Every structure is written in structure tokens, then in C-alpha cells.
């Protein structure tokens, strides 16, 4: 195994990330608390804090209550500091572009539907126009990067969409294509959209303190993001988590991937609309229609079957990976979340091993649809402030 040499500048960079993460998580801390938590010297902490303030990442904000003597200055993440830009591509061509501050506040958000997916260059140019428009609204603010969540198998190192069934794209270098069309130059992080959702839960949602976590994104498509011992697990070719394309249904429907009986062809929002004899016109319309028709017996039976199928795959994932928590996100969770959670829990109790079923936490994501912009933002946050020492 190759050893990585840690230079003094690399060590200092790691220390700055550690301190920033600590301030970010605690919201307000003093220099004394930082020294006590990490065991750093007073001069080391002073240097780190000075650098973080100079970079605009943190600010001094008020004073800590103290009975005697000088009151320590408190440090917090700078809400007026740099921002990150989030881009989310959905499977059927809907796109969201948002500006997010370091605390996770969405400052600006635009959504649109791609006029065309082919050729990919035209689609990327359309996305770039909205990105440049969003950046123009904050001309005096530093942008730390773009996080782009895309459907399909995505090589996160090269920024290439290797395969997207719904877009019909193979080997599309979307990261470099977008970089060539954006007016400013900064890192562009491209990843699978469900991986972005999982990181969003880890940074801004209920997955913050979970070491072994699965996020199941169930909306236009069905996918799983997997965290093992605090790190995103990607598998060979970044292909982990394509649970929607497990052919679990015998004599099932054709799927976009070319196979039949895939979970996605039975459970996704487009599949449910097809069962109702309706044209799929987007996630918003589908969830609204299902909520409006949920008391109709045929709709009730159909959705309960979908929840049960999700429960089946959840039980399998529980037995295979033994996560401490599974979080469900996406449009399907917005139809009747309590009923969905009950159905999934029941199936897990029936099918998973008893100790695992008894202890696992099953939760619905706290993010409403507009807050999903934090998924893309989390890709930038993870890139800049990950505490993983050796990459």
C-alpha cells in the first residue's frame, strides 16, 4: 500500500478543515473551546482562525457569557461569506439551479425543464445559461464551486456521466463541458444525484452523526446512497446503489434500462402514473395527482404495493449492509409519508433479521422539495471540508 507523505502545509490544511467543521457543527464556539477540543496550542489556533477569517469562511459574532474577566469572542460560520452553487438534473429533464450559503440557506433558486436532451451539448449550454444567470445575481460574492447531481452512473473523479438510462447518455464529460460554458472558474463536482442526496443528509439533514447510513431516493427513479464507517461507498466504476434496476418483479414491466421487472418500473412516479393511465408530466404533478386520488381504492392498492416493494428492498439492504439508519427521500415520500413509513417498517420487521430490524432507524427526509438544492451544495462542502486525510 502506497504511503502518503503529509507535509506541514497539508497538515495545516487538515487542521483548518477540522476547525471549520467543528465551528460549523457547533454553530458558535470560542477559541478556548477549540483549543480544548483538539489540543492545539494557542498560537496554532490563532493562526487557523486568522486564515479562516481572512478567507471569509468564519466571523467573530458576539461574546461568551463569563462570570469574571474578559469575555471570549465567539466564532461562527460567516452567513455573508462565500457561497456554493447547486445544480440538480432529474431523470426526465427537470433542472434546479440554486445559490446556497455555507450555513445551508438557499439564497436563490430557479427551476426549468430542458428543451432537449440531445445533443448533450445543447442541454449543457442551457444549464450553463441558468448557472451564469444565478452567479450574476451575486457579483461581489465568492463562489467556492458547483455541485452537480446527475442521474445514472457517474464517475465522480472525471465528472463523466458513464451511463444514464433516462437521458440516453453514455460517456458524457458533463463536468468539463459545463466548465467551458460558465463565466467563472472554480471547481465543478459531478456525482450521482442519489449520492448527492446522501451527502445532503450527512451535511444538512438527519444523517449528520450516522456512521453507517443508507439514503433511498424514490421519485422519478429509485436509487440508494450508501455510507460505510462515515464514508460514501461507491463500488466498482462508481456503480453502487442502482437498486431501481434490480429485476425483482417476475413478468414485470419493461424498464428504461432495457430489462424487465425492475423495481423502478413498478415503484417510481412515472410507473405509477402509467398504471393510472396518465402521462407523466413531472414530479410535482405526479405527487399532486397521487395525493388527490389516494382515497380511491385502486390508487390506494397501487401505492400500498409500491410501499411494500420498497420495504422488500429495504429489508434486503438491512440484512446485507446492517446500517444504523435508512432515510427515504424524493417525491414518493410526499404522498402519504406516515403510511409509507409504516408499510416499509412492517416489511422490514417481517423480512430482516430480528436484531437488525429491531435496532434500525427508518426515517423520512426532513427536506421539502425546495430544500433538495442542498444536495448539490453538499458535494462542494464535502470536497472542500471533508476530514478524510488520504484521498
Indicate whether 251 and 354 sit together in one domain: yes
Indicate whether 92 and 156 sit together in one domain: yes
Residue 311 to residue 146: CA distance in whole angstroms: 34
Indicate whether 69 and 121 sit together in one domain: no
Indicate whether 156 and 240 sit together in one domain: no
Strand partners, 172: 161
Terminus-to-terminus CA distance in the chain, angstroms?
13
Mean pLDDT per 10-residue run, the chain (391 residues)? 66 92 92 94 94 94 59 88 96 94 95 90 96 94 96 93 90 96 93 95 91 95 94 89 87 83 92 94 92 95 95 96 96 95 97 95 91 95 77 39
| Residue 253 included in any domain | yes
| Residue 2 included in any domain | no
| Residue 390 included in any domain | no
- Whether the CB-CB separation of 329 and 218 falls below 8 Å is answered with yes
| Residue 344 included in any domain | yes
20, 46, 77 - which closes a domain = 77
Indicate whether 318 and 228 sit together in one domain: yes
Q: What's the pLDDT at 375?
A: 96
Indicate whether 149 and 266 sit together in one domain: no
37, 53, 77 - which closes a domain = 77
Q: What's the pLDDT at 254?
A: 85
With b for 16 or more beta-carbon neighbours within 10 A and e for fewer, the 90-126 pattern comes to bbbbbbbbbbbbbebebebbebeebeebeebeebbeb
Given the C-alpha cell 469574571, which residue does it identify?
68
Which of 102, 108, 114 lies closest to 136 in space, CA to CA? 108
The 3 state secondary structure assigned to 26-66 is HCCEEHHHHHHHHCCCHHHHHHHHHHHHHCCCEEEEEECCC
Residue 292 to residue 317: CA distance in whole angstroms: 32
Given the C-alpha cell 496554532, which residue does it identify?
44
Indicate whether 341 and 244 sit together in one domain: yes
Indicate whether 357 and 381 sit together in one domain: no
Q: What's the pLDDT at 224?
A: 96
Q: What's the pLDDT at 301?
A: 95
Indicate whether 259 and 345 sit together in one domain: yes
Provide the domain limits for residue 247: 208-366
Task: To the nearest 10°, report the CA torsion of 99, 101, 104, 105.
Answer: -70
What does each C-alpha distance from 101 to 143, 155, 378 come to in angstroms?
Answer: 9, 26, 11
What does each C-alpha distance from 107 to 89, 228, 290 come to in angstroms?
Answer: 19, 32, 31
CA 321 from chain centre, in angstroms, equals 20
- Whether the CB-CB separation of 185 and 174 falls below 8 Å is answered with no
Q: What's the pLDDT at 359?
A: 95
51, 77, 103 - which closes a domain = 77
Indicate whether 243 and 351 sit together in one domain: yes
Residue 211 to residue 28: CA distance in whole angstroms: 24
Q: How open is the CA angle 118-121-122, to the nearest 5 degrees?
A: 65
CATH of residue 138's domain is 3.30.420.40
| Residue 212 included in any domain | yes
CATH of residue 67's domain is 1.10.10.10
- Whether the CB-CB separation of 216 and 309 falls below 8 Å is answered with no
| Residue 277 included in any domain | yes
Look at the chain and report how many structural domains it folds into: 3
| Residue 391 included in any domain | no
Indicate whether 19 and 90 sit together in one domain: no
| Residue 1 included in any domain | no
Which of 195, 202, 214, 148 lies closest to 24 in space, CA to CA? 202
CA 243 from chain centre, in angstroms, equals 17
Cell of 224: 440508494
Indicate whether 235 and 350 sit together in one domain: yes
In 3-state terms, the chain is what percent helix, strand and coil (to 5)? 45, 25, 35
Q: What's the pLDDT at 389?
A: 44
What does each C-alpha distance from 98 to 83, 126, 294, 356, 374 come to in angstroms?
Answer: 10, 15, 32, 38, 9
CA 196 from chain centre, in angstroms, equals 3
Amino acid at each position: 500500500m502506497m504511503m502518503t507523505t503529509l507535509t506541514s502545509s497539508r497538515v495545516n490544511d487538515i487542521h483548518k478543515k477540522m476547525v471549520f467543521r467543528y465551528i460549523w457543527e457547533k454553530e458558535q464556539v470560542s477559541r478556548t473551546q477549540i483549543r480544548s477540543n483538539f489540543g492545539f496550542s494557542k498560537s496554532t489556533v490563532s493562526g487557523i482562525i486568522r486564515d479562516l477569517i481572512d478567507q471569509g469562511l468564519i466571523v467573530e459574532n458576539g461574546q461568551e457569557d463569563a462570570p469574571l474577566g474578559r469575555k471570549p469572542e465567539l466564532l461562527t460560520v460567516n452567513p455573508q461569506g462565500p457561497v456554493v452553487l447547486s445544480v440538480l438534473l432529474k431523470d426526465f429533464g427537470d433542472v434546479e439551479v440554486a445559490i446556497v450559503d455555507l450555513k445551508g440557506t438557499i439564497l436563490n433558486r430557479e427551476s426549468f425543464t430542458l428543451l432537449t436532451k440531445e445533443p448533450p451539448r445543447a442541454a449543457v449550454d442551457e444549464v450553463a445559461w441558468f448557472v451564469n444567470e444565478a452567479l450574476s445575481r451575486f457579483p461581489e460574492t465568492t463562489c467556492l464551486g458547483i455541485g452537480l447531481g446527475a442521474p445514472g452512473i457517474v464517475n465522480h473523479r472525471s465528472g463523466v456521466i458513464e451511463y444514464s438510462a433516462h437521458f440516453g447518455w453514455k460517456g458524457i464529460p458533463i463536468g468539463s463541458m459545463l466548465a467551458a460554458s460558465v463565466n467563472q472558474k472554480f471547481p465543478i463536482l459531478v456525482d450521482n444525484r442519489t449520492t448527492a442526496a446522501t451527502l445532503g443528509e450527512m451535511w444538512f439533514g438527519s444523517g449528520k452523526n450516522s456512521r453507517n447510513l443508507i439514503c433511498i431516493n424514490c421519485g422519478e427513479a429509485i436509487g440508494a446512497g450508501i455510507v460505510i464507517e462515515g464514508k460514501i461507498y461507491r463500488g466498482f466504476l462508481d456503480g453502487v446503489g442502482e437498486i431501481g434496476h434490480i429485476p425483482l418483479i417476475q413478468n414485470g414491466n419493461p424498464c428504461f434500462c432495457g430489462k424487465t421487472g425492475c423495481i423502478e418500473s413498478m415503484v417510481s412516479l412515472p410507473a405509477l402514473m402509467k398504471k393510472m393511465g396518465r402521462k407523466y408530466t413531472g414530479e410535482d404533478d405526479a405527487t399532486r395527482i397521487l395525493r388527490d386520488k389516494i382515497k380511491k381504492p385502486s390508487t390506494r392498492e397501487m401505492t400500498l404495493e409500491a410501499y411494500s416493494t420498497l420495504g422488500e428492498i429495504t429489508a434486503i439492504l438491512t440484512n446485507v449492509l446492517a446500517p444504523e439508519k435508512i432515510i427515504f427521500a424524493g417525491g414518493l415520500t410526499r404522498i402519504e409519508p406516515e403510511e409509507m413509513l409504516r408499510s416499509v417498517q412492517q416489511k422490514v420487521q417481517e423480512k430482516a433479521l430480528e436484531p437488525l430490524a429491531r435496532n434500525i432507524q427508518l426515517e423520512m427526509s426532513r427536506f421539502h422539495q425546495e430544500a433538495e438544492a442542498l444536495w448539490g451544495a453538499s458535494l462542494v462542502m464535502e470536497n472542500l471540508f471533508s476530514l478524510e486525510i488520504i484521498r
